[in-house]
Amino acid sequence: MSRIGKKPVDLPAGVTAAVKGQTIEVKGPKGSQTFHATDDVTLAVEGTQVTVTPRGTSKRARQQWGMSRTMIRNLVTGVTGGFKRELEIQGVGYRAALNGQVLKLSLGYSHEVNYEVPKGITVTVPKQTEIIIEGQDAQQVGQVAAEIRDWKRPEPYKGKGIRYKGEFIFRKEGKKK
């Protein structure tokens, strides 16, 4: 039994959900999002709660049960508060600047890295060494953060690079004479 799947998803005030077949659409103050569930689960809206139940006892049905419930919870969170990832840049001369919908990164290469911000994502640069990524879709926010981080991952000797805020980088000791 899925401990996550058993819990219903509560809909806060101002959020509505509608189920059509295997597709659920959640509307809230920040917009609307949809999720298409597999045929292994059944979706139902009961008052201010959304419940997910498996259609059988197969391994796939049990896997999809908890995953579908989590995806629906992410939809509700996205249309109410949204998702946010914060990145820090460390290194001498490493900096970020936002020019319209293009994020310009100076990361020690011979050229600047230009990253085109996708639709549905808001990127802000409060300081030259901080990047804040916000959006409705948890997967898209995480993907954009991972793509930006991939340009210069933190290295273990000096700790230079782009890291998630609060991320611990295991430091290695350099060569000894």
Phi-psi region of 21 (alpha: psi -120 to 50; beta: other; left: phi over 0): left
Tens of pLDDT along 75-98? Answer: 999 999 999 999 999 999 999 999
Looking at residue 177, its pLDDT comes to 79
Domains of the chain: which residue ranges?
Answer: 3-80, 83-164
- Residue bearing tokens 């981080």: 149
Overall CATH class of domain 3-80: alpha beta
Given the candidates 3.40.50.300, 3.30.1490.20, 3.90.930.12, 3.40.50.1950, the CATH classification of the domain at 83-164 is 3.90.930.12
Looking at residue 1, its pLDDT comes to 64
Looking at residue 5, its pLDDT comes to 87
What's the whole-number average pLDDT of the chain? 92
Looking at residue 33, its pLDDT comes to 93
Query: Do 3-80 and 83-164 share a fold?
Result: yes
Looking at residue 3, its pLDDT comes to 84
Count of CB atoms within 10 A of residue 159's CB? 13
Buried b (16+ CB within 10 A) or exposed e, 33-59: beeebeebbebebeeeebbbebeeeee
Per-residue pLDDT of the chain (177 residues; tens, 9 = 90+): 678 888 999 999 999 999 999 999 999 998 899 999 999 999 999 989 999 999 988 999 988 999 999 999 999 999 999 999 999 999 999 999 999 999 999 999 999 999 999 999 999 999 999 999 999 999 999 999 999 999 999 999 998 999 999 999 999 998 887
In this structure, is the dihedral angle defined by the CA atoms of residues 73, 79, 81 and 87, taken in order, positive or negative?
Answer: positive
